[in-house]
Amino acid sequence: MEMMERVAAEDESALAIEDAQVRRWRHEQFVLLGSSDAQALLLAGSEAADLGQARYLVDCGCTFTLALQILL
């Protein structure tokens, strides 16, 4: 049983690292779209905020503030 617990703990650790990397990447992408650092942190951590939709809204002429209101 100890071996299975160790493997489960390693899997959890790997998932936490991957989640942090995804959030960091999403943060960078939202900043590149024109969001402030605070907005990007909020959006990167939100499962509801779709990066593709954000890109579409900005490409259509929305200010990032308006896009933020739509996304959240």
pLDDT digits (tens, 9 = 90+) for 39-58: 999 999 998 899 999 999 99
Instruction: For residue 34, give the DSSP letter.
Output: T
**Positions in the chain short of pLDDT 70:** 1, 3-11
Structure token pair of residue 1: 């049983």
Q: Which pLDDT score is estimated for 12?
A: 77
CB atoms < 10 A from the CB of 14, how many? 10
Q: CB atoms < 10 A from the CB of 40, how many?
A: 22
pLDDT of residue 7: 53
